[in-house]
Amino acid sequence: MSAATLFAAMVFTGRGLERTVRWFLIANGLMPPFIALQMHFHPLIWIAALWAVTFPGSTSSLAVLFRRARTTAAAEDHSGAQQRLERGLVDLVSLARVDRPPGAGL
């Protein structure tokens, strides 16, 4: 799982929150040697304990990033739908304004 987070970190190339996600994922991906070797060299437990920060940090920052992306996409989709609806209403109004001869009906 740590190798997966290390490789996944390369996907996030932006600034701000993406940069935070990238650094948390890299830090989490570099933890396995310390976790594995702390059984043989006990002082490594202090470095391995950072996993208690990197794992929740990476998961929570990813959750915030994906939530913001979903909210942004939903807002863009809503505004696009609103624009399509307005265009449709304008088209209907323009069709209704077509001059018809008297008594021609709709």
- Show pLDDT as tens, one digit a residue, over the chain (106 residues): 778 888 989 999 889 999 999 999 999 999 888 888 888 988 888 888 888 999 999 999 999 999 988 887 776 666 665 665 556 555 545 555 555 556 665 5
Number of separate domains in the chain: 1
- Looking at residue 98, the DSSP 8-state letter turns out to be S
Q: What's the pLDDT at 62?
A: 92
Residue 8 lies in a domain: yes
Parent domain of 56: 2-96
H/E stretch holding 61 reads: helix 51-96
Residue 102 lies in a domain: no
Residue 58 lies in a domain: yes
44-69 b/e with 16+ CB inside 10 Å = b?
Answer: beeebebbeebbebbeebbeebeeee
For the full predicted model, state whether its pTM sits above 0.85.
Answer: no
Task: Compute how many other C-beta atoms are within 10 angstroms of the C-beta atom of residue 36.
Answer: 11
Amino acid in position 93: V
Residue 103 lies in a domain: no
Residue 105 lies in a domain: no
Residue 23 lies in a domain: yes
Side-chain-facing half-sphere of 103: CA atoms under 13 Å: 0
Residue 91 lies in a domain: yes
Residue 106 lies in a domain: no
Q: Which of 53, 59, 63, 8 is nearest to 31 (CA)?
A: 53
